[in-house]
Amino acid sequence: MPIPSSLSRSADAAVRKLADFGHTHPTLFIAAAVAGVTLPPTLLAVFRAAARSYHGYLDVGRGGIPHNIVGWMVQGLGQLIAIRDPLATLPFEKPSRAVLARYGDGGRQSYLETDLLPRAGAEGAAGAGLDKATRKQAGRPIIPAYVAPQRQISQKGEPATRKDQDAFLQSLAAANPDILDIRPSQLEGNETPALFAKQGLKLGTPFWSLSSQAARGPVEIVHTHAEGSTHMIFSLQDALRVVQNGWGERHLLAGSRGATIPLTYLIVYAPRDDVELMVWKTLALASVRFCVGGVELNEGKQ
């Protein structure tokens, strides 16, 4: 079928104009040509990377934000203010004046009653105790770099251990009814049970006050995830020990200037055996002691 003469003339005119543009604006012409060749593959690569990220987000599981594309986009915006190194401990070792004012003298103390976790920088620690109290030999679990939900996807705990964790938190609340209780997590949603201090130290908003540790009220201290990892709040000294000894790391918004999550808000890795469960209980107790301001606690069932 022959091409209509009108269409042929239009195409010829367009080619001539394009050639004229190339002669008069060679730089723009070359840039447009390169973009025309490279942009489609680039967009395709971006789309594929976004699709992988989205499917990875769904695989992590449910958390405190929608488990759909809206939640994925929300956590993507959170990446703009996220910290870059969740294993960095310098903020615990050399906290800013604002952090010191917020945490008070208690922030410098350790609330770990045993030597199961050696103090940061301690020398001559007992070899056997240190071996049992670090996870460095096994390496840290894999935690995808999503702002929320923060989960580990390797080295998960067993369902029976997960039940022991919940039972321990329940026993703590039952043993200290005037101080602690169990209620749905405000951070995780989905009816995830969490241990709250009825009058705990507030370290940020909306769940912690920005003013100082003197402001008190209900505070979410600990909640555990399906795979056995746990979010806890520690003193500066204990947070340092937890990260350095390989038992946990910072939340990606912990201490971020654009967020309201306390600096010492850590994810504690899932215990995988009885020894690690014992360490986990020690850490949970330290977290509770700090958050209630050092009030004496009944330790519940071990």
Q: What is the C-alpha separation between 4 and 1, in angstroms, rounded?
A: 9
Q: Beta-carbon neighbour count of residue 110 at 10 Å?
A: 18
Give residue 195's Cα distance to chain centre: 18
Boundary residue ending a domain (45, 60, 75): 60
Q: Are 143 and 267 in contact (CB under 8 A)?
A: yes
Q: Are residues 156 and 25 in the same domain?
A: no
Domains: count for the chain: 2
Give φ, ψ of 174 to 5 degrees: -65, -35
Domain containing 183 equals 90-291
Q: Are residues 95 and 168 in the same domain?
A: yes
- Structure confidence at residue 48 (pLDDT): 74
Q: Are residues 46 and 183 in the same domain?
A: no
Give φ, ψ of 267 to 5 degrees: -95, 125
This prediction has a pTM of 0.79
Q: Are residues 166 and 226 in the same domain?
A: yes
Give φ, ψ of 231 to 5 degrees: -100, 130
What is the percent of the chain with per-residue pLDDT over 70, rounded to a whole number? 70
pLDDT digits 0-9 by tens, 57-107:
899 998 888 998 888 889 988 889 999 999 999 999 999 888 888 888 888
pLDDT digits 0-9 by tens, 6-36:
545 555 565 455 455 555 656 655 665 555 6
- Helix (H, G, I), strand (E, B), or coil: what is residue 183? strand
Q: Are residues 143 and 264 in the same domain?
A: yes
Under-70 pLDDT residues of the chain: 1-47, 114-138, 190, 202, 204-217, 300-302
Sign of CA dihedral 78, 79, 84, 86: positive
Tell me which H or E stretch contains 233: strand 230-233
Q: Are residues 25 and 121 in the same domain?
A: no
- Structure confidence at residue 208 (pLDDT): 37
In a domain, 72, yes or no: no
